[in-house]
């Protein structure tokens, strides 16, 4: 007898993937499900299961759910769930299916699955029941005793007290939920700490802030206790929030840029925990990645370092992000890779180029014949709208809580809007929902954005698009309407990838690109994971659509589905696809020459050798490197350049810039050459650079444009912002919007002024990135292009680029002229809050949106002066005002900043 004994489990599971009978049953299951979904026949009219086959596939699922294979256990468990879920869908009234499904979910530890199949499942014997009770107790969430972690979540949760920890998990695994529950438990137990949650975009700040307040405030948590007030905590989203002038402990919800400016403005501020969500932003070509590196390194320089927690989706090597901690470059105990997912995605290839619909078999062991034909369709007439209309037709027969919701992904704003318009026209007047909540939302969009804005009429049909900037309150309501089933079809761009948590049953992917570049495997898997969200459902359908005339083909989608997510490298690492060796050498050569100006790399003809994204990332890493060398910091960025700079080189660079009157600082939005020119402009004897004064409380367009032109010269926008602020024609357009924004005009007013501008300047109008035409002031289509462009300018230019430059100007001006020099005319503050009105600014500093603050300013009956302090307060009756958005915001502000309210 051989001495090489194998375990029974190994013998059972080693070849189960290749079991021909299982594969045959599974293919039948997929086909039956697909046929049913598309209404191509009932189960028993296709290749329905015999009773024996039904029992056999359920037994296979039961076996797979108990897999202990060292490499494939999670894959087997997901497969088991998939079988149980699809069988439950095909046979919703079959008690045997319910029993097996309950057993599968119990074996894999998916308590949400047991709850959602609603079968009253009980463990089959006393021993398993005892174990189930033990596991339930073990997985109880300390801060929410009525809820349970998944086993993998519990493992990650138990590591959050580590000095540093990095974990990855599928998109649906609730990575940020784990962080929030940890923070809540600490606060409930009286910990006095400061926590920071870094999110990748400004759009996510409001969503995460609301969730944190829901966890800790008294309105929505299960205990109905306001732990924020009880333990004196405040949730802060900007360095200018008024809470920072008071004595509290804090939970910061910020982008890396905002946290960087907080650390610069408050260098002695203590931070105990840094949670970086969507940590894969530290990898790949990403112009915002340097801000993450800068924040982490600044915190590492402190004597008292915070705990560093990284969470990322789907990557196989989360340990790579621990390289940012010099102390944690070896060992795997501080990293965790979770591959199990409690939800599944069923994938369809909708090949309209060849007129066929197929279902994708993810469990094929060989990479061929991976699709199963479901139906042939007419290549001439078949289009996306046909499928969406079919789902909407089914929805009409269902109660609201059972309606199916669909998200449609496009790689550009214009495509998403045009597709939404096309579908809205297909639905027609018959599609009006006659839903009071949607009618109210439509009215607010017409009044708050513009009466001709496409979105206003679409939402009445339960259709919306989710792209870039919208007023925070309207965006939140659109997301809420989708979550609650009032809106059933949402058209999106890559904003969906940034963590927006929208529950969908169906996801239509119309392109394999983000803008012009093919998605990398991390983003592709992250996008797929946006359907099937454990908080809402157990599974979702993903449709990969290739339409007539598209460059993307069905084969492209299959190729990407078969790609594994590769191990990730840090953005700062030398990589021919990210930060190239030649780019690092380019930076090193510039610094060795004693220069700080880092222009874009060009060829001998003056053509750029790198994209804007690549250039911005390269330059900012160069600024970090320069600062680290001058300060002799042993940072990761500096270590990654060691092959390009000798010790003598570094010493020479340090000597040059230490002697310089203007030294590198921590603000990586500007370089030494820009700062030097700024100081010179502010210090001029004749016509020193300063913010122009307002005339009768109004901004003069000529003054605003002149000031932007001056800043363009100072900051060398022709070099560093060549595609936007560096263009004279665009600056004149930006100045129009900037004037109205700083004056506090409502969005509708700003839109009307933008329309007026284009009416007066019709010859420089772009339909899209490639098509220039004359502006037609009578065209609603042209009006909506202006609306979208204006919203994009507010988001990306006014509130990001110009805001950052104004902040730098204000800080330098105060340093040179005194702290009180801008008390009467600080344009950075006017940009940040979109107003010059002190009350509107005060309300925003307490957590209200710009739109709600404007409403309160116009309804002074809700404002009162506190007789004891002389401070302005809000009446509690504001919670019952006539504005839906204001009422919603009062709920959160009252929990987080109760001091601004006064009882009547």
The pLDDT of residue 168 is above 60 = yes
User: pLDDT confidence of 6, banded at 50, 70, 90?
Assistant: very low
User: Could you give the angle at the alpha carbon of 195 between the alpha carbons of 190 and 197, nearest 5°?
Assistant: 140
User: pLDDT confidence of 403, banded at 50, 70, 90?
Assistant: confident
The pLDDT of residue 709 is above 90 = yes
Q: 417 pairs with which residues across the strands?
A: none
pLDDT value at residue 1: 43
Q: Rounded CA gap, 674 and 672, in Å?
A: 5
Q: 337 pairs with which residues across the strands?
A: 168
pLDDT value at residue 431: 87
pLDDT value at residue 311: 96
**Pick from 58, 106, 47, 99: nearest CA to 82:** 58
pLDDT value at residue 45: 45
For the entire predicted model, the pTM comes to 0.92
**Pick from 513, 559, 543: nearest CA to 377:** 543
pLDDT value at residue 903: 76
User: Could you give the angle at the alpha carbon of 684 between the alpha carbons of 680 and 686, nearest 5°?
Assistant: 155
Least confident piece of the model among 198-202, 356-360, 455-459: 198-202
Q: Which helix (H) or strand (E) holds 466?
A: strand 463-466
User: pLDDT confidence of 11, banded at 50, 70, 90?
Assistant: low
Q: Which CATH number fits domain 344-562: 3.40.50.300, 3.40.50.12280, 3.20.20.70, 3.40.50.720?
A: 3.40.50.300
Query: Chain centroid to CA 181: how far?
Result: 20
User: pLDDT confidence of 769, banded at 50, 70, 90?
Assistant: confident
The pLDDT of residue 89 is above 50 = yes
User: pLDDT confidence of 823, banded at 50, 70, 90?
Assistant: confident
Tokens 């495997």, located at residue = 521
Strand locations in 653-811 (E): 765-766, 772-773
> Are domains 147-337 and 344-562 of this chain identical in fold?
yes
What residues contact residue 416 under an 8 Å CB cut-off, 6+ apart? 408, 410, 465, 467, 491, 492, 493
Tokens 């759009």, located at residue = 203
117 or 773, which is more confident? 773
pLDDT value at residue 8: 44
Q: Rounded CA gap, 632 and 651, in Å?
A: 9
Strands 489-492 and 463-466: parallel
The CATH number that domain 147-337 falls under is 3.40.50.300
Angle between helices 436-448 and 884-896 (to 10 degrees): 90
Cβ count within 10 A of residue 216: 27
Q: Rounded CA gap, 823 and 801, in Å?
A: 23
Least confident piece of the model among 83-92, 319-328, 381-390, 516-525: 319-328
Q: % helix / strand / coil in the chain, to the nearest 5? A: 50, 10, 35
The pLDDT of residue 20 is above 70 = yes
Residue 91 — φ and ψ, nearest 5°? -125, 70
558, 527 in Cβ contact below 8 A?
no
What residues contact residue 217 under an 8 Å CB cut-off, 6+ apart? 226, 227, 228, 892, 895, 896
Residue 75 — φ and ψ, nearest 5°? -60, -40
Q: Which helix (H) or strand (E) holds 393?
A: helix 384-395
Q: Rounded CA gap, 34 and 28, in Å?
A: 10
- Our separate counts of H helices and E strands in the chain read 35, 24
List the domain boundaries for the chain.
8-138, 147-337, 344-562, 581-668, 701-828, 837-902
The pLDDT of 372-377, averaged and rounded, is: 92
Least confident piece of the model among 116-125, 605-614, 665-674: 116-125
pLDDT, tens digit (0-9, with 9 covering 90-100), for 581-636: 999 999 999 999 999 899 999 898 888 899 988 999 999 999 999 999 999 999 99
pLDDT value at residue 512: 94
pLDDT, tens digit (0-9, with 9 covering 90-100), for 259-310: 999 999 999 899 999 999 999 999 988 888 999 999 999 999 999 999 999 9
pLDDT value at residue 4: 53
Mean pLDDT of the chain: 90
């Amino acid at each position: 007898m051989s001495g090489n004994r194998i375990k029974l489990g190994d013998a059972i599971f080693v070849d189960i993937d290749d079991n021909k009978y299982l594969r045959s049953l599974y293919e039948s299951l997929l086909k039956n499900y697909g046929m049913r979904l598309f209404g191509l026949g009932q189960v028993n009219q296709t290749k329905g299961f015999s009773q024996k086959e039904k029992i056999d596939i359920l037994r296979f699922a039961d076996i797979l759910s108990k897999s202990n294979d060292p490499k494939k256990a999670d894959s087997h468990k997901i497969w088991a769930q998939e079988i149980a879920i699809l069988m439950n869908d095909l046979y919703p009234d079959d008690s045997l299916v319910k029993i097996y499904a309950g057993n599968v979910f119990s074996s894999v530890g998916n308590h949400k699955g047991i709850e959602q199949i609603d079968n009253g499942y009980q463990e089959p014997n006393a021993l398993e029941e005892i174990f189930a009770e033990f596991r339930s107790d073990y997985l109880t969430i300390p801060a929410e005793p009525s809820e349970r972690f998944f086993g993998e979540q519990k493992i990650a949760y138990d590591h959050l007290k580590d000095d540093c920890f990095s974990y990855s998990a599928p998109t649906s695994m609730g990575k940020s939920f784990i962080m929030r529950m940890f923070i809540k438990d600490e606060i409930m137990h009286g910990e006095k700490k400061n926590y920071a949650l870094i999110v990748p975009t400004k759009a996510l700040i409001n969503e995460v802030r609301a969730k944190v307040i829901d966890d800790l405030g008294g309105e929505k948590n299960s205990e109905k206790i306001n732990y924020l007030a009880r333990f004196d905590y405040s949730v802060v989203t900007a360095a200018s929030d008024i809470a920072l002038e008071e004595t509290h402990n804090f939970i910061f919800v910020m982008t890396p840029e905002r946290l960087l400016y907080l650390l610069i403005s408050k260098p002695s501020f203590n931070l105990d925990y840094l949670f970086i969500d969507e940590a894969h932003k530290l990898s790949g070509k990403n112009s915002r990645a340097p801000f993450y590196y800068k924040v982490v390194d600044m915190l590492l320089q402190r004597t008292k370092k915070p705990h560093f927690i990284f969470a990322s989706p789907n990557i196989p090597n989360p340990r790579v992000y621990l390289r940012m901690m010099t102390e944690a470059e070896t060992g795997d105990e501080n990293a965790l890779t979770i591959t199990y997912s409690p939800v599944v995605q069923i994938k369809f290839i909708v090949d309209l180029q060849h007129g066929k619909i197929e279902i994708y078999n993810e469990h094929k062991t060989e990479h061929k014949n991976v699709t199963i034909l479901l139906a042939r369709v007419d290549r001439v007439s078949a289009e996306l709208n046909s499928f969406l209309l079919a789902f909407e037709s089914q929805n009409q027969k269902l109660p609201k809580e059972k309606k199916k919701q669909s998200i449609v992904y496009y790689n550009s704003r214009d495509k998403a809007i045009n597709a939404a318009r096309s579908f809205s026209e297909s639905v027609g007047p018959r599609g009006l929902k006659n839903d009071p909540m949607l009618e109210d939302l439509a009215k607010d969009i017409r009044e708050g954005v513009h009466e001709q804005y496409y979105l206003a009429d679409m939402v009445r049909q339960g259709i919306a698009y989710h792209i870039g900037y919208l007023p925070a309150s309207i965006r939140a309501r659109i997301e809420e309407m989708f979550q609650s089933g009032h809106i059933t079809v949402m058209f999106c761009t890559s904003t969906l990838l940034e963590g927006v948590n929208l529950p969908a049953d169906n996801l239509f992917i119309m392109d394999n690109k983000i803008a012009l570049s093919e998605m990398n495997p991390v983003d592709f898997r992250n996008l797929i994971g946006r359907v099937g969200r454990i908080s809402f459902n157990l599974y979702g359908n993903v449709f990969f659509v290739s339409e007539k005339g598209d460059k993307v083909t069905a084969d492209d989608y299959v190729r990407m589905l078969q790609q594994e997510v590769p191990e990730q490298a840090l953005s700062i690492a030398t990589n021919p696809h990210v930060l190239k060796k030649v780019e690092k050498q380019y930076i090193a050569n510039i610094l060795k020459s004693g220069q700080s100006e880092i222009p874009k790399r060009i060829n001998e003809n003056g053509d750029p050798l790198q994209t804007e994204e690549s250039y911005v990332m390269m330059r900012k890493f160069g600024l970090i490197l320069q600062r680290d060398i001058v300060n002799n910091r042993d940072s990761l960025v500096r270590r990654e350049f060691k092959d390009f700079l000798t010790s003598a080189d570094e010493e020479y660079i340090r000597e040059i810039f230490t002697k310089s009157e203007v030294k590198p600082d921590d603000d990586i939005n500007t370089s030494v050459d820009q700062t030097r020119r700024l100081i010179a402009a502010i210090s001029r004897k004749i016509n020193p650079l300063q913010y122009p004064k307002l005339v009768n409380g109004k901004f003069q367009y000529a003054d605003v444009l002149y000031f932007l032109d001056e800043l363009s010269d100072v900051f060398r926008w022709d070099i560093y912002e060549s595609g936007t602020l560096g263009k004279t024609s665009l600056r004149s357009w930006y100045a129009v919007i900037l004037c109205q924004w700083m004056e506090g005009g409502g969005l509708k007013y700003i839109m009307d002024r933008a329309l007026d501008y284009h009416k007066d300047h019709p010859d420089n109008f772009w339909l899209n990135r490639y098509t220039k035409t004359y502006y037609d002031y009578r065209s609603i289509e042209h009006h909506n292009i202006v609306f979208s462009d204006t919203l994009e300018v507010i988001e990306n230019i006014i509130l990001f680029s110009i805001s950052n430059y104004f902040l730098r100007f204000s800080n330098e001006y105060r340093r040179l002229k005194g702290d009180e020099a801008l008390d009467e005319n600080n344009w950075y503050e006017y940009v940040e809050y979109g107003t010059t009105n002190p009350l509107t600014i005060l309300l925003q500093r307490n957590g209200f949106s710009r739109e709600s603050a404007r409403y309160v300013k116009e309804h002074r009956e809700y404002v009162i002066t506190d007789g004891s302090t002389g401070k302005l307060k809000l009446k509690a009756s504001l919670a019952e005002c006539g504005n839906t958005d204001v009422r919603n915001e009062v709920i959160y502000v009252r929990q987080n900043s109760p001091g601004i309210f006064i009882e009547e």
